[in-house]
Amino acid sequence: MQYMTMGNITRRIHGLTGKILCAKWGFNTFSGFLVFSFLLASGGAVAQQDTLVVGDSVDIDQVVVSARRTPVVYSRLSRIVSNVEEGEVERLPVSSIHEVLDNISGVDVRQRGPMGVQSDLSIRGSSFDQNLVLLNGIDITDPQTGHFALNLPVNLSDVKEIEVLKGPGSRVFGPNAFGGAVNIITAPADSNQLQLKVRGGSHGFYHATALGSFAVGQTRNHLSFSHSASDGYMKNTDFSTYSLYYQGVAKLGQDELELQLGHKNKGYGAQGFYTPQYPGQYEESGVTLVSLSMTMEGALQVEPSVYWRRHRDRFELFREDGGWYQREGRYWVKGQNDTAKYVPGVYAPSNYYSGHNYHMTDVYGIKTGSSFRWPLGKTAFGFDMRSEQIWSNVLGNPMDDTLAVRGEPHGSYTRKYHRSLVNLYAEHNVYLGNFSLSAGILASRSNEHQPGWKYYPGVDMSYQLLTWLTSYASYNRSLRMPTFTDLFYQGPSNAGNPNLAPEKIQAYEAGLKVSTPFLMGHLSWFYHDAGDLIAWSRREGASEQVQWKARNMTELINQGLELSLTLRLDKMKGFTAGVDRLALHYTNMDQQKTAPGHQSKYSLNYPDEQFKARMSGHTGDLYYSLTASYYDRAGQYLEYNFSSDTYTGEVPFEPYWVMDGKISYKWKQWKLHVEVNNIWDQRHSDIGNIRLPGRWVKLGVRRTISFAEKK
């Protein structure tokens, strides 16, 4: 009776939300009826959370992975899902989620600034726009630009696990899982506790976090607040960030209701981030997330979710600050005679910098997924609807009126744009002895393109050769929607294209997986055939005055090998050498890009060779972790001479090694640590003309206070 009551409540919520969204998106009566029917059909059930759960005391063959529509034991998973488990996140010598991701095989996090200031995510050679990012299964991908994909409303201290699905995954996660998907997992602690963390180090760096988990009745709650700042490792690389995050989970019989609220604000000197010609750039951004999910158990399982994400950004090509540029009338002036000009010495009004760029995006979404078992296997089906809107003074279509930017006396939005997406999916899983098969399809529709549904099928297969060895193969098709920057950006040498279509890809993969209690790993071969890729190009032989325009014309073949091995020595009986874990990851890729009759503005800058190693262990209460990474990046970039303010020609990326280390000591409820990044002080860059920090030393202390639960 309780289950039916909760189902009725959910159906009412679903029905009301479906009507609101159909009205907002302007779908016709038939479309509204279709969506409403799906809501009713899935009422009372739950889709599995996209997580990889690995417990220290669990046999590997019992580990359940649900990085697809329905869960499966790890040994039978027909895709590569890499993760960093709870406990290992804290031991790594990292200060941000970005840096954790950079320790995962096949992942390339190209940093512009340290400690999560801004980074571009790439999975197996994808571009920064071609990946999906989720927080506890909620899609928080930014539609404006992939540069904001890792602007997350959580702090590293909130994270329990991070998992990465390698390769295209639209059938699993929906559009934009073109190169892969990242799922960041948080959860309230099992006990009532309060943690206080303080860190400090080189370049005026400091960080403070207060977080706690506590139970109230049938609810478990997690709340955190953090602030970090630095003077910067060189001119105009200072930053300051604030974050606030809450997660609450309420037990309702067998069911669960989960609420998460998060906000992060950060401002940072963006020294040459987007162009070396005007290096004194600055950026401030804020992201807010609210989501509500319900998990209900039964013969038919479903998880409905609703969410809202807002992102605000102010970009200053000429930094407005003391010692930098100050506003005088319509223009920005530095000193007595140095006016912000695009071309020094040209005093035409059109040549002056006259305002910052302002953007605000709102994303509303609702999704639900259902699954059930029957004699022929397990079937999953569901839908998601997503509304994406931007207000800007740069991107979008002209508005009839202007909208003031909150907190900015001289800022106003003059342009806006809106699009909506509907996705339906179905998947079926069959297990016959040692053989498993998962096949499904995604149907996607957007008001941005020609009417009708577009279909993206996929199939994954695996065969367990031995108890510890599994072979697998997969074929998947995926898509990536153009970002608002692709569609509308206009600059002196670049022009967006509002007629862009989604990018498309066909992906093939095969390999072997090893899974024992003390050894896990895989050897994978992947082949990606991508078309209609969006590239900034112009016709061959065009003069330098011709703009680069965004076009769907590039074809790309990406193929590679990935080898990953993790040895868990702490699981081997009698081994007491103080080494708990050794991990080795190697990726080799080759990409070939063609744009017939055109030249592309940007060369391919993927890592054609990537090697990562990690060793961690402990002796008594002393813990340590060492990581080493090697990158040999393909392609070239235009080198800029900052002394003469001129480009000096194309140069290749220099390969580099970077080693990081962390030592921590635990004493009662205290924990002390020393962390050193770039131990050998290597000079290196991930993006042309942007130098990353040298050696950076940090010291930290953590105090944990536990409270007994009231009976």
Question: Which residue stretches of 475-613 are H helix?
Answer: 484-488
Rounded Cα gap, residues 162 and 85, in angstroms: 7
**CATH number of this structure's domain 42-317+356-707, picked from the four choices 3.40.1190.20, 2.40.170.20, 2.60.40.1180, 3.40.50.2000:** 2.40.170.20
- Percent of the chain at pLDDT > 90 equals 66
Structure tokens at 684: 């290196």
- CA dist 351 and 340 (Å) reads 9
How many angstroms separate the CA atoms of 287 and 362, rounded?
10
| For residues 466-481, average pLDDT | 95
Give the model's pLDDT for residue 77.
Answer: 60
416-451 core/surface letters (b: 16 or more CB in 10 A; e: else): bbbbbbbbbbebbbeeeeeebbbbbbbebbbebbee
Give the model's confidence band at 53: pLDDT under 50 very low, under 70 low, under 90 confident, else very high. Answer: very low
Residue 566 contacts residue 581 (beta carbons within 8 Å): yes
Q: How is residue 525 written in tokens?
A: 């071969």
Q: How far apart are the first and last CA of the chain?
A: 28
Distance, in Å, from the CA atom of 10 to the CA atom of 303, rounded to the nearest integer, reads 10
Q: Which residue has the higher pLDDT, 116 or 584?
A: 584
Contacts of 399 (CB under 8 A, 6+ apart): 413, 414, 415, 416
Separation between Cα atoms, residue 516 and residue 522, nearest integer Å:
12
Contact (CB, 8 A) for 678 and 658: yes
Residues 444, 173: contact at Cβ < 8 Å?
Answer: no
From residue 438, give the alpha-carbon distance in Å to each of 132, 471, 526: 21, 14, 18
Contact present, 180 and 239 (Cβ < 8 Å): no
Kindly tell me if the per-residue pLDDT of 36 is higher than 60.
Answer: no
The amino acid at residue 264 is: K
Could you tell me the residue ranges of all domains in the chain?
42-317+356-707
* pTM, two decimal places: 0.88
pLDDT (tens digit, 9 = 90+) per residue, 310-358?
A: 999 999 999 999 889 988 888 888 876 678 888 877 878 778 888 999 9
In the chain, % helix, strand, coil (3-state, to 5) comes to 10, 55, 35
* Summary mean pLDDT of the chain: 86
Q: Which has the higher per-residue pLDDT, 601 or 582? A: 582
Give the closest residue to 154 by CA, choosing from 205, 222, 82, 219.
222
Is residue 442 within 8 A of residue 170, CB to CB? The reply is yes
Q: What are phi and psi of 495, to 5 degrees?
A: -140, 125
The owner of tokens 């498309």 is 504
**Confidence grade of residue 651 (pLDDT, cut at 50, 70, 90):** very high
* Strand ranges (E), 272-396: 280-295, 300-302, 305-316, 326-328, 331-334, 338-339, 357-374, 377-392
Q: Provide the token pair at 514.
A: 């090893």
Q: What is the mean pLDDT of residues 129-142?
A: 94
Using pLDDT thresholds of 50, 70 and 90, give the confidence band for residue 576. Answer: confident
**How many Cβ atoms are within 10 Å of 323's Cβ, its own excluded?**
7
